[in-house]
Amino acid sequence: MPSITGMLTFQEAAARFRDASLTPRDYLEQAIATLQEHEHRVRAFVCLDLERARQQADAATERYRRQAPLSAIDGMPVGIKDIIDTATLPTTMGSDIYRAWRPAADAEAVEAIRLGGGIILGKTHTTEFAIGRATITTNPHDATRTPGGSSSGTAAAVASGMICAGLGTQTQGSIVRPASYCGVAGYKPSWGVLPLRGVHPVSGSHDHLGVIAQDLDTAWATARCITQYRPTQASVQLDTRTGPALEPRPAGRMAVIRTQGYAELDADALQAFDARLEDWRRRGALLVEPGDDAQLAALCHELDRIPALSLELVTHDMRWPYWSYCQHHPQAVSQKIHDMVDAGLKITPQRHGAVCAIRDGILARLEALAAHYDAFVLPAASGVAPVGLDNTGSRTLLVYASFLGIPALSLPVLQIGHMPLGVQVMGGRFSDHQLLCHGKWLMSLSGM
């Protein structure tokens, strides 16, 4: 779906930085002008740091003048989800408990972005602790609708043209879903690829740091900058032999995932999804349905178990630090979080171990199929963004990748009326680069 503002993508802007027909400072001022035009309605940011951003843009301008950019995102306007620590700005977690709290150090990923020359405009709104009550951000395509949670502000700011990319987190569906609702690209890496130090936890078994961006190239460049400056044990397992750039790579066989979660799709959403698949088939994509592969059908059946199992693991993990929050700040914590903590306290060590064993079994089944399929395709949300801000959307179709720790993308290739909807593409563990290249190919098949 095209940008609401028509702003140059960062890839286009960076090419002009290199030939000196545009400077990072000029580009930043365009982003700030867009922010000033739309922020009163979208409300994507908790706080801004415009003067420091201008200083960073001037420094980037000088580096490009010397033909010495620090990374592929040098000079790029970025937003940081407000559960991610920033030493120069408050980190409020979307909670009154942390109102105006300022960390002593940047999160690892923020540190990496600064080292790579990324320009941090400010902190973007999140739902309460990225799991509780909704925030005030609206959908840029329709202010009566949610932008999705919990990376609400990041997705809305990207879609509005205020930033080129932003950091988000996903415990169950919080990168892929807001990217889908706002019509931008979402990239949730394999579990552990991007560093979580300095990110407030929800669930140690599920939490992922990821990127919401204008396009897949910008999402990958942002992630690559982070892994370049602050690699993790998991990031070194990625296949990055082709370097920081993405090239469209035709997929071989792709598996269509159809689960009971499709019952949440309305007729328009399902029709749009199926029409896109049929269009891809006409253009040469080989998409296999569960009815044509018994092993794929068995996997879809196993995936139907995941939403309930995921909730058990998440609530179990939330015993820290949320039990303490509930004890010491009961009035400041939403009832949803109180209920999740109560549920987690009832999960025995034996049950926790059993759920982890089931997860390992489902992952092994998917990994076996990944040897025969280049990607797994399904909707990126259960329809377009709901009306109202309190309901940030269902996680059902999104939690599979989070529970299993596999990479997932939201491709902005569908539109229903005036609202966007994404197609989700998943891959085997650590196939992130290959998956993004397949995603870029699918975007090209869609004429985007």
CA distance 36 to 249: 39
- Answer whether 76's CB lies under 8 Å from 61's CB: no
- The pTM score is 0.98
CA distance 448 to 443: 5
Beta bridge pairs of residue 420: 415
Q: What is the arrangement of strands in the sheet containing 286-288, beginning at the earlier edge strand? A: 45-48, 119-124, 77-81, 165-170, 208-213, 185-188, 408-416, 419-426, 375-379, 253-256, 286-288
Q: Classify burial at 117, counting beta carbons within 10 Å of its beta carbon; exposed 0-12, middle 13-18, buried 19 or more.
A: buried
β-pairing, 253-256 with 375-379? parallel
pLDDT recorded at residue 242:
46
Q: Is 286 left (phi over 0), alpha (psi -120 to 50) or beta?
A: beta
Q: Which of 3, 71, 150, 203 is catalytic?
A: 150
pLDDT recorded at residue 233:
94
- Residue 130: name the closest of 342, 407, 379, 336 by CA: 336
pLDDT tens series, the chain, 448 aa: 445 667 899 999 999 999 999 999 999 999 999 999 999 999 999 999 999 999 999 999 999 999 999 999 999 999 999 999 999 999 999 999 999 899 999 999 999 999 999 999 999 999 999 999 999 999 999 999 999 999 999 999 999 999 999 999 999 999 999 999 999 999 999 999 999 999 999 999 999 999 999 999 999 999 999 999 999 999 988 865 546 689 999 999 999 999 999 999 999 999 999 999 999 999 999 999 999 999 999 999 999 999 999 999 999 999 999 999 999 999 999 999 999 999 999 999 999 999 999 999 999 999 999 999 999 999 999 999 999 999 999 999 999 999 999 999 999 999 999 999 999 999 999 999 999 999 999 999 999 8
| Structural domains of the chain, ranges and CATH numbers in brackets | 10-252+375-445 (3.90.1300.10)
Establish whether 190 is a catalytic residue: no
Establish whether 444 is a catalytic residue: no
Establish whether 235 is a catalytic residue: no
Q: Which of 3, 81, 95, 431 is catalytic?
A: 81
Q: Is 28 left (phi over 0), alpha (psi -120 to 50) or beta?
A: alpha
Please confirm whether the linkage preceding 150 is cis (ω < 30° from 0): yes
**Single-letter amino acid, residue 310:** S
Burial code of 155-176, b = ≥16 C-beta within 10 A, e = fewer? bbbbbbbbbbbbbbbbbbbbbb
Q: Which of 174, 190, 382, 394 is catalytic?
A: 174
